[in-house]
Amino acid sequence: MSPSLPRRRFLSAGLGSACLLLGSSGGCSASYQEPIKFATNPWPGYDPLYVAREKGYFRDVGIEVALVDLTSIGASRRAFERGQVDGCGATLVEILLAADQSGLRPQIAAVVDYSNGADVLIAAGSVKSLADLRGRRVAIEPGTLHIQLLALALASVQLTVRDVALVPMPQNAMPAAFADGLVAAAVCFPPESNRLLEKGGKVVFHSGQVPGQVVDTLVFDGGFVARRGNEVQAFVSAYYRAMAFMESNPDEAHAIMARRENMSVDELRQTLAGLHYVGRKEQPELLAPGGPVERSLNQLQGAMMALAQLRQSRTLKDFLIARELIAATGISA
């Protein structure tokens, strides 16, 4: 299957029958507990969830999980905003937009990775330099971190997003638009970035030039956390168990992840070189007051407010109820 084709597969985890005790109920209910519905988009940072599903780790911690595999990060956010899923993989952009546009209270359960070169701005051969993008058409997926990376790239040559012509489109449409000459550049990440490079594109800016500023997270709605917080803890625990399996059994884990991404294992490993997985012990430092995530959030929020993409500002503290739950179980220790 071509990675540029829309993919909307609804995947369910192996479902266990164990009943998880919830703090709000004080005991095991005889009624059926809906599975946790969690949306993801193609991105290796979320792939340990698919390793957890295949290895039975969700079942082992007594939870039922349905992974909803959507075509883009924007589609995941919209499903989250509409209440079609309980949580989703999200960048800081999705967290801010969901809070601003839907009235939800997104809660960060874990920072899973930060991009270290995987998110890229790719330009056609006719573009001689970043500054040469002035007045040119640049593809971005609206409501995603694309605007953050593009703003950072343009700022490095004293330009702003108003100096280019933004062309909104889903990421999976970018390879065709680029090949047809409809855009001079595009902000994207694998697997689509690999397709653009195959079509003669060149990287003119990447997230490795701004380390630690582009993060991915596991996010749940605050209402869901209040009702089923113990299951959120178990969900994150299964994710970290899958990360540990990936470290000790990379061949098997990478094969699972490559199938999920519609990539070869070699292509997946090239992609992994462009991101840094965030382990349990790194969570407190990343999420601490004044830490990297807070600095990144404040910087991004300022840019989005300037572009009238947000109606009100928020602080990182608004998104950290889940961190307190996780700390209570020792997951971040």
| DSSP assignment of 38-103 | EEE-S-GGGTHHHHHHHHTHHHHTT--EEEEE-SSHHHHHHHHHTTSSSEEEEEHHHHHHHHHHH-
Give the per-residue pLDDT at 32: 53
Which H or E run contains 325? helix 321-329
Tens digit of pLDDT for each residue in 6-43? 222 222 233 232 333 233 333 344 345 799 999 999 88
Tell me the percentage of the chain whose pLDDT exceeds 90. 59
Work out the average pLDDT over 54-69.
96
> Quick count: other Cβ atoms within 10 Å of Cβ 264?
10
* Mean per-residue pLDDT of the chain: 84
Q: Which of 43, 192, 212, 210 is nearest to 122 (CA)?
A: 192
Cα of 303 vs its chain's centroid, Å: 19
pTM above 0.85, yes or no: no
Q: What is the DSSP letter of 271?
A: H
Among 26-35, 89-98, 210-219, 295-304, which is the least confidently predicted range? 26-35
92-114 burial: b if 16+ Cβ within 10 Å, else e? bbbbbbbbbebebbbbbbbbbbb
Tens digit of pLDDT for each residue in 86-123? 999 999 999 999 999 888 999 999 999 988 888 899 99
> Quick count: other Cβ atoms within 10 Å of Cβ 34?
10
Look up tokens 């947000």; give the residue.
Answer: 310
Give the per-residue pLDDT at 116: 87
Q: Check pLDDT > 50 for residue 226.
A: yes
